[in-house]
A and B are shown apart, each in its own frame.
Chain A
Amino acid sequence: EAQVTQNPRYLITVTGKKLTVTCSQNMNHEYMSWYRQDPGLGLRQIYYSMNVEVTDKGDVPEGYKVSRKEKRNFPLILESPSPNQTSLYFCASSPLSVTNTGELFFGEGSRLTVL
């Protein structure tokens, strides 16, 4: 089954404790991206990747890191989480570029709470 898988789905952590949210897709997509969803703010892009070893900042990259060492994986790293990073996070993938193919495939989301 074609899918985008995120882990963990739910996480409660404390300020400053490094964490990684994994994202894996099995559709051989070149494009992957991370978004955060907050009430009243919609979906805001954190980072995106056009292909292996190619990443770029989105609109809200501060406090986050990403890597794309393999085509299928695009982990999101919070080196020192803070309470303002409490949010619902979505990973998404798309073949080639999102604007050429017309569809982002989203994972199920990861709800992160930073105390």
Chain B
Amino acid sequence: GENVEQHPSTLSVQEGDSAVIKCTYSDSASNYFPWYKQELGKRPQLIIDIRSNVGEKKDQRIAVTLNKTAKHFSLHITETQPEDSAVYFCAAGTNFGNEKLTFGTGTRLTIIP
């Protein structure tokens, strides 16, 4: 089955700086890569996703890049703000008959004011 590794497990950045979280996956058939944000005590929510036919996707201050050859994808947050503090999960999935979405272990991001 799919295995998703996520690094780092914790990350602290100064407000206004950029944050990068990286994930690698094992199944070359995976073609869908979402990122979820979970604020303290709340449910995970989708913030951005990318499919294998795209190398990069941006949405305001967040962006995701995908390298299918190397089987890794990354979340980039620019101009970080206190409300970006949360746990971020990457995930990998495929729609070729396998509807299981495998999540990474999460990154706790802390923005230092």
Hey, which bits of chain A sit against chain B, CB under 8 A? 31, 33, 35, 40-45, 48, 50, 56, 58-59, 90, 97-100, 102-104, 106-109
Chain B's closest residue to A43 (CB) is B103
Complex contacts, A102 vs chain B, CB 8 Å: 32, 34, 46, 49
Q: A98-B93, A99-B93, A99-B94 are in contact. Are A108 and B43 (CB under 8 A)?
A: yes
Q: Is the CB of A43 within 8 A of B9?
A: no
Contacts A43-B106, A48-B99 supplied; 8 other A-B pairs, CB < 8 Å: A42-B6, A42-B106, A43-B89, A44-B103, A48-B100, A56-B99, A106-B43, A106-B44
Q: Is the CB of B99 within 8 A of A50?
A: yes
Q: Is the CB of A59 within 8 A of B1?
A: yes
Chain B's closest residue to A91 (CB) is B43
Q: Is the CB of B95 within 8 A of A99?
A: yes
Query: How distant is A34 from chain B, measured CB to nearest CB, in Å?
Result: 12
Complex contacts, B44 vs chain A, CB 8 Å: 43, 90, 104, 106
Q: Is the CB of B99 within 8 A of A107?
A: no
Q: How large is the interface on B (under 10, 10 to 19, 20 to 34, 35 or more residues)?
A: 20 to 34
Complex contacts, A41 vs chain B, CB 8 Å: 105
Q: A59-B1, A103-B46, A106-B43 are in contact. Are A42 and B103 (CB under 8 A)?
A: yes
A31 to B45, CA, bound (A): 17
Q: Is the CB of B102 within 8 A of A45?
A: yes
A104 to B99, CA, bound (A): 12
Complex contacts, A108 vs chain B, CB 8 Å: 42-43
Q: Is the CB of B99 within 8 A of A106?
A: no
A33 to B102, CA, bound (A): 12
Chain B's closest residue to A40 (CB) is B105
A48 to B101, CA, bound (A): 10
Q: A90-B43, A106-B44, A108-B43 are in contact. Are A99 and B9 (CB under 8 A)?
A: no
